[in-house]
Amino acid sequence: MLNMLSEVDILPGIGEKTKADLNRAGIFTVRDLFYYLPRDYENYQNLTHISDLHPGKVSFIGKIVDIETKNARSRRLSITEAIVSDGDDSVRAVWFNQPYRATQFKDKNIEYLFSGQYELQRGRYQLSNPKVEKATAVEEASAYAGKFQPIYPQKSAIKPDTFKRLIFHLRAEFAKIPDLLPSLPDSSSFAGKNARRDALYKIHFPENQSEADVARTYLSYEELFELILAARLNRNENKKLTARQIPYNNDAMQQLLKSLPFQLTQAQKISAWEIIKDLEKKTPMNRLLQGDVGSGKTIVAATAILQATKAGFQSALLAPTSILATQHAEELDKILSPLGVKIGLLVGATKHKPELKSRIKSGEVDLVVGTHAIITDDTQFQDLSLCIIDEQHRFGVQQRQKLLLKAQDFAPHLLSMTATPIPRSLQLTVFGDLDVSIISEMPHGRKPIRTKVLTEVEQRETLYPHIRDELNLGRQAYWICKKIEDGHSRDSMAKQETISVKRQTEKLKTIFPRAKIEFLHGRMKPAEKDEIMAKFSNHKIDILVSTTVVEVGVNVPNATIMVIMDAESYGLAQLHQLRGRVGRGDFQSYCYLITSAEQPTRRLLEVEKSTDGFHLAEVDLKLRGPGEIYGSLQHGALDLRIASLADTHLINLAQRHAEKISQNPEIMIKYKELGQGIKKYQQLTTLN
Ligand code: ADP
Ligand code: MG
C-alpha cells in the first residue's frame, strides 16, 4: 500500500527536479498529487465534420487557411480570427487577447485538432477560444490514454500538459491507494472496498463523463465527511470542559422585561430561553445566535448578561469595531445598569485604561464591552464566565480563543452572534459543532425596505429627487463607496472606475448644496470615526458617505436611504447587511443598488426581489462559495477541493456516517491520514 502522506519522490519517475517543481506549486505529498484533479475533460470521442457542427462543445480536425489579429476599440482587447477548413467546409475561430496565436500557425499544411465552444456571437456562429493541438500529438495521446482526456489546471510554473503526463505515468500506482474511511454507509451507492482508489483512478482517467461524475461524487463525500467529523469531534471535546453553572434568576428576568419599552418577539423569547438553559449546565455553552439585521439580538444577549451578573460572574462582549462597541455599551447601559450591572467600555480610544483594567481585574466591572482591546494580554478578569461575540465571522479562530482563555479555572460559556444567515448546509458542516438559535421574525411594525437596482445614468432622474424628498422630510441617508480616495494605481486606467468616498462627497455637495454631508472610512482614527458616527446619529449630518465600515451593527433609526455604489462588487450577504442599516425605525426605508454595468446582474436582482437574508445567503453560497460568505474562512483554508456545500443530499449522508464514527474516535489512530485531514478542519472550525 502507498502511504499517501509520503513525499512525492517515493513515486517512480519523480526525481529531485520534479519534486522541487511540485513543491513550489504547493504539492508535497502523494496525496497532494493524486488529489490534484482535472478541471475538465477533452472529449475526442466525438470528432465531427465542420459541416455538421452544432452549437455547444465541439471537436474537429482542420487546417488554418487564414489568420490575423485585430485590436478592438479598446486598446486592451485584441481579437485573433482564423478561418479553419477541413477540406469540405470552413468555420471561423476567434481568440481574445491571445495575439501569439497569429504567429503560432505558420505552416498552413499542418492538421490541428480544435476543441471549444461553437456559439452564436453578434449574429454569427464562431468557435470561441478553442484549444488547439497538433492532430498527430492527439493521435499519439489517444493511443495510450483513450479519447477522453483530463485537462488539469495550471499551477505556478507547471503547465496543464505536464500534469497530464506526470499523472498518466503514475497510473499503475493508483492500485496501491489505501482506503481513507473506515467504512462506508450501507445506503450509499459507493463501492465499499477500494472506493477511493477507484474514484481517484476514474477521476483522472475516465472513459466518459459519467464515470468522472461518479468518481467526483465519492471524493466530495470523503471531503464532506472529514469536515463534518471534525466539527463533531470539536463538539465532543467542548463537552469535556467544565463551565460555571449560572442558575436561572426569574426575578431579574421579569424586571428586565418590564423595563423594556417593547415586548420581546416570540423568537427572541425562545432564543433567550435556549441560552438560559445552556447557562444552567456544567458544560460550556457554544451557541450561535442568528438573526437578520434588526431582529433584536442585542436584547437577547442582555438577558444572558443579566443572568451571569446576578450569579456573581463577569461577562465580556466583543465587537468588531469601536463604533459598534460604543453603541452596544450605550444601549446595554440603558437597559442593564438600572438592574445593577456595571459596564465598562474598552476600546482603543478608551481613556484611563489602566484604571478600567484594574476594575475589571478586581471584579468590580460586571460586563466589559469592547473591541480587540479586550483580548490584549494585559486585560485580566476576576471570574469571566460568559463571552459574547457580536458579528462573530469578523473574528478569526485565534481571536476567539484568546478571549476564551481570559477565563481561568472554568471554561466560559460562549454566545456567538451573527446577522449573516448561515445556510443549513454550512450549519451541518463548518458550523457543526454549534448549537443554533434563530430569531426568525422581526419586531412588530417594521416595514420591509424597498430596494431598487439602478445604473449610474439613472441616478439623476430617479435617485436625486427621491433623496431631496427624504431630506426635506427630515430623514438621513447613507452613501456607500468602495474606495476611500482616487488612487493613481493601474486601476485608474480601467474604463469603469469606482467612485471614491472623497470624490462622491464632493459630488453630492454640489448636488445637494443645503445638506450637511460628511464622510467616514476605515483609515480615520478611531476617535474621528466615533465623532462622525455620533454626529450622524444625532442628525448633525444628513448624508454620510462611507466605506463599508458602517456595515456592522450601527443603529440610526432616522436614516431611511441606503445607496450602494458599484453594488455588483459585493457579496449578497454583505449587500443585505448594508441594507439593514436602514429600516430600523418606523419610517419606510429604501435601498438603491447602483451598478456600473450596463445591465444589472442576476445577483443584484435577487437583492432587489428579496429581503430575506436566508434566501440571499443560499443564493450566494451557490454562486460564490462559502469563503465569500464567511469572512473567517476567507483565508482560503476552507477551499473545498471538490465538494460543494450546496449538496445537501451528500451532506446528510456524510452527517449520519460521521455521527457514528465520532462515537469511537480511537479509530483515527488506525486511520492516520483521515486523522490528519480532520485535524486541519478541526482547527479551522473550532468554536466557530
Ligand atoms: P440586531 O439583531 O441587528 O443586532 P438590534 O439588537 O440592534 O438588532 O436591534 C435593533 C433595534 O430594534 C434596536 O433599536 C432595538 O431596541 C429594537 N428592538 C429589539 N427588539 C425589539 C422588539 N421586540 N420590539 C421592538 N423593537 C425591538
Ligand atoms: Mg447587532
- Of the candidates 232, 217, 191, 187, the residue with the CA atom closest to the CA atom of residue 655: 232
Give 328 Cα–ligand 2 centroid separation in angstroms: 8
pLDDT at 495 over 60: no
For 256, the grid coordinates are: 428586565
DSSP state of 74: S
Instruction: Tell which one of 259, 266, 295, 334 to mutate to probe ligand 1, the residue whose CB is within 8 A of the most ligand atoms.
Output: 295
Nearest CA to ligand 1 atom 25: 443
Residue 379, Cβ density class (10 Å: 0-12 exposed, 13-18 middle, ≥19 buried): buried
Mean pLDDT of 269-278: 97
Ligand nearest to the CA of 320: 2
Cα 618 to Cα 294: distance, rounded to the nearest angstrom: 20
Q: Are 25 and 157 in contact (CB under 8 A)?
A: yes
- Of the candidates 168, 231, 155, 238, the residue with the CA atom closest to the CA atom of residue 11: 168
Q: Are 5 and 674 in contact (CB under 8 A)?
A: no
Give the three-class secondary structure for 326: helix
Give the three-class secondary structure for 342: coil
Cα 480 to Cα 581: distance, rounded to the nearest angstrom: 11
Nearest CA to ligand 1 atom 22: 443
Mean pLDDT of 314-336: 92
- pLDDT for position 293: 79
Give 415 Cα–ligand 1 centroid separation in angstroms: 18
- pLDDT for position 635: 41
Give the lowest-confidence range in 90-104, 128-142, 494-508, 587-601. Answer: 128-142
- pLDDT for position 239: 86
Model confidence at 296, in pLDDT bands (50, 70, 90)? very high
Give just the sign of the alpha carbon dihedral 675, 677, 680, 685.
negative
Ligand nearest to the CA of 261: 1
Give the lowest-confidence range in 439-453, 490-504, 517-531, 630-644. Answer: 630-644
Q: Are 93 and 81 in contact (CB under 8 A)?
A: yes
Q: Are 69 and 102 in contact (CB under 8 A)?
A: yes
DSSP state of 231: H
For 113, the grid coordinates are: 485538432
Give 324 Cα–ligand 2 centroid separation in angstroms: 8
Give 265 Cα–ligand 1 centroid separation in angstroms: 10
Cα 249 to Cα 241: distance, rounded to the nearest angstrom: 24
Beta bridge partners of 90: 85
Nearest CA to ligand 1 atom 20: 296
- Of the candidates 567, 569, 556, the residue with the CA atom closest to the CA atom of residue 608: 567
- pLDDT for position 452: 95
The model's pLDDT over 143-191, given as tens digits with 9 standing for 90+, comes to 555 678 888 999 888 988 889 889 999 999 999 999 888 777 665 666 5
The residue that leads in pLDDT, 449 or 393, is: 449
- In this structure, how many other beta carbons lie within 10 angstroms of the beta carbon of residue 568? 16
- Residue 139: partners with Cβ closer than 8 Å, 6 or more residues away: none
Helical H runs in 240-347? 250-259, 266-279, 297-310, 322-336
Cα 88 to Cα 213: distance, rounded to the nearest angstrom: 36
The model's pLDDT over 194-239, given as tens digits with 9 standing for 90+, comes to 889 999 999 999 988 899 999 999 998 988 888 888 888 888 888 8
Give just the sign of the alpha carbon dihedral 490, 493, 499, 500.
positive
pLDDT at 493 over 50: no
Cα 388 to Cα 477: distance, rounded to the nearest angstrom: 31
Is 0.85 topped by the overall pTM? no
Mean pLDDT of 7-32: 93
The residue that leads in pLDDT, 135 or 248, is: 248
For 110, the grid coordinates are: 499542418
Instruction: Tell which one of 323, 417, 555 to mutate to probe ligand 1, the residue whose CB is within 8 A of the most ligand atoms.
Output: 555
Helix orientation angle between 572-579 and 602-609, rounded to the nearest 10 degrees: 40
Ligand nearest to the CA of 289: 1
DSSP state of 301: H
- pLDDT for position 144: 54
Helix orientation angle between 602-609 and 613-624, rounded to the nearest 10 degrees: 170
Residue 16, Cβ density class (10 Å: 0-12 exposed, 13-18 middle, ≥19 buried): exposed
Q: Give the pairing type, strands 90-96 and 78-85.
A: antiparallel
The model's pLDDT over 405-445, given as tens digits with 9 standing for 90+, comes to 898 889 999 999 988 777 777 777 777 778 999 998 888 88
Mean pLDDT of 547-559: 81
Highest mean pLDDT among 72-76, 80-84, 522-526, 549-553: 80-84
- Of the candidates 529, 513, 576, 585, the residue with the CA atom closest to the CA atom of residue 555: 585
For 187, the grid coordinates are: 445506503
Q: Which residues line ligand 1 (CB under 6 A)?
A: 262, 264-265, 268, 291, 293-299, 419, 443, 553, 555, 584
Cα 46 to Cα 466: distance, rounded to the nearest angstrom: 58
Cα 367 to Cα 336: distance, rounded to the nearest angstrom: 10
pLDDT at 611 over 80: yes
Mean pLDDT of 367-387: 93
Give 391 Cα–ligand 2 centroid separation in angstroms: 7
Cα 626 to Cα 639: distance, rounded to the nearest angstrom: 8
- Stated as kind and residue range, the H or E segment containing 125 is strand 124-134
Nearest ligand 1 atom to alpha carbon 295: 2
Ligand nearest to the CA of 335: 1
- Stated as kind and residue range, the H or E segment containing 314 is strand 314-318
Cα 517 to Cα 538: distance, rounded to the nearest angstrom: 14
Cα 213 to Cα 191: distance, rounded to the nearest angstrom: 14
Model confidence at 636, in pLDDT bands (50, 70, 90)? very low
DSSP state of 592: E
- pLDDT for position 319: 93
pLDDT at 261 over 80: yes
Beta bridge partners of 85: 63, 90
pLDDT at 678 over 90: no
pLDDT at 492 over 70: no
- In this structure, how many other beta carbons lie within 10 angstroms of the beta carbon of residue 339? 16
Mean pLDDT of 4-27: 93
Cα 130 to Cα 93: distance, rounded to the nearest angstrom: 7
Give 297 Cα–ligand 2 centroid separation in angstroms: 6
Give the three-class secondary structure for 145: helix
The model's pLDDT over 44-81, given as tens digits with 9 standing for 90+, comes to 777 889 999 999 888 888 999 999 888 776 667 888 99
The model's pLDDT over 383-399, given as tens digits with 9 standing for 90+, comes to 999 999 998 777 877 78
pLDDT at 138 over 70: no
Nearest CA to ligand 1 atom 16: 296
Cα 291 to Cα 522: distance, rounded to the nearest angstrom: 26
- pLDDT for position 163: 92
- pLDDT for position 631: 47
pLDDT at 301 over 50: yes
Residue 135, Cβ density class (10 Å: 0-12 exposed, 13-18 middle, ≥19 buried): middle
Mean pLDDT of 248-261: 96
Model confidence at 472, in pLDDT bands (50, 70, 90)? very high
- In this structure, how many other beta carbons lie within 10 angstroms of the beta carbon of residue 128? 14
Cα 384 to Cα 406: distance, rounded to the nearest angstrom: 7
- Residue 240: partners with Cβ closer than 8 Å, 6 or more residues away: none
Give 553 Cα–ligand 1 centroid separation in angstroms: 11
Instruction: Tell which one of 262, 263, 265, 558 to mutate to probe ligand 1, the residue whose CB is within 8 A of the most ligand atoms.
Output: 262
Q: Would residue 194 be called left, alpha or beta, if left means φ above 0 and alpha means ψ between -120 and 50 degrees?
A: left
Q: Give the pairing type, strands 543-546 and 517-520.
A: parallel
For 525, the grid coordinates are: 482614527
Instruction: Compute the mean pLDDT over every residue in the chain, rounded to the nearest whole number.
Output: 87
- pLDDT for position 470: 96
Cα 579 to Cα 611: distance, rounded to the nearest angstrom: 9
Nearest CA to ligand 1 atom 17: 296
- Stated as kind and residue range, the H or E segment containing 389 is strand 384-389
Give just the sign of the alpha carbon dihedral 156, 158, 160, 164.
negative
- pLDDT for position 211: 92
Mean pLDDT of 18-43: 92
The model's pLDDT over 528-546, given as tens digits with 9 standing for 90+, comes to 888 898 899 999 999 999 9
For 472, the grid coordinates are: 426635506
Ligand nearest to the CA of 584: 1
DSSP state of 154: P
Q: What are phi and psi of 622, to 5 degrees?
A: -70, -40
Give me Rg for the CA atoms of the chain.
30
Give 296 Cα–ligand 1 centroid separation in angstroms: 3
